[in-house]
Amino acid sequence: MSNSIWLGFDPREAAAYAVTRESIKQYITQPIPIRGLVLDDLRKRGLYWRPTERRLGKLYDVISEHEMATEFAISRFLVPHLAQEGWALFMDCDMLLRSNIARVFQGLDGRKAVYCVKHDHVPDYIEKMDGQVQSRYARKNWSSFMIFNCHHRANKQLTPEMVNTLPGRDLHRFCWLKDDEIGELPVEWNWLVGHSDERVIPKNVHFTDGGPWFDAFANAPHSEEWRDTLHRWAR
C-alpha cells in the first residue's frame, strides 16, 4: 500500500507551488510521490466539469455562487479518486515545509476517513492580499492540509459526480463524513501565519492570507526561509 502527496496548482502562484514542492523534497526521507493537481489536466481527463466563469478577472464557481480563490478550490476533493490507495495527502500550494513530511503518515488510525488540523479560524476581513475573497465557512482551513484514507468506505462516496455537483462550502466542511471519522493532526502540521499560536514551532508554515511573493507579506514570519527555498529551487 503506497502513500502519495498532492499539491494544488494555480498558474498565478507558480512560485509558491515550486517552493512548497522544493521544501517537501528538502526534508523527506522516503520515496513518496509528489503530484500536482492541475485543473486543465483534470478537465481533459473528464474528471472535472463544474461550470465556472470568469467574472472581473476572477474564477467564479456557478454551483457555489461564489468566487474561487484558487483553481484547486474544489478539485482537491478528487484526490481519493485519483490516488486510489493508501493515505493521500492534499496540500495547498502556499506552504513551506520545515520537517520530514513522511512523519505525518505515521500512526494514523485506519478507522478515520480524513485527518486534518481542526482549526477554529474565522477571518475578520473579507479580502486576501491578491484581491481574492476571504470566504467564511464551517471548518475553515481544515481542507487546506488533509490526509485521505483511500480505503475508507466513507470516502467511496466522494465520487467525481459528488465533487462536481455539491457547493464548495459543503465539501469544505466534509459533508460526506461523520464527525468521528475525522482524525486530528497537531497544529504544527498546518500552522497559519498570523493566526496560529506563535509559541508553536511549525513543521509546515501556511501563508493562508498571502505569502512573501506579495509585497505586503515580504516580512511575514518565515519569509526568509521561503525566499531561501525559492532561490535554491531556481539554481
Amino acid 235: pLDDT: 84
Q: Is the entire prediction scored with pTM above 0.75?
A: yes
Find the mean pLDDT for residues 205-234: 94
Find the mean pLDDT for residues 67-86: 97
**DSSP string across 131-146:** S-B----TTTTGGGEE
Phi, psi of 180 (to 5 degrees): -80, 0
Alpha carbon distance 5, 47 (integer Å)? 19
Alpha carbon distance 100, 23 (integer Å)? 9
- HEC per residue, 182-224: EEECCHHHCEECCCCCCCCCCCEEECCCCCCCCHHHCCCCCHH
Question: For residue range 123-182, what is the model confidence (pLDDT) as tens digits?
Answer: 555 455 555 554 556 798 999 999 999 999 999 999 999 999 999 999 999 999 999 999
Amino acid 113: pLDDT: 98
H or E element that contains 16? helix 14-27
Phi, psi of 72 (to 5 degrees): -100, 20
* Cell numbers found for residue 143: 481542507
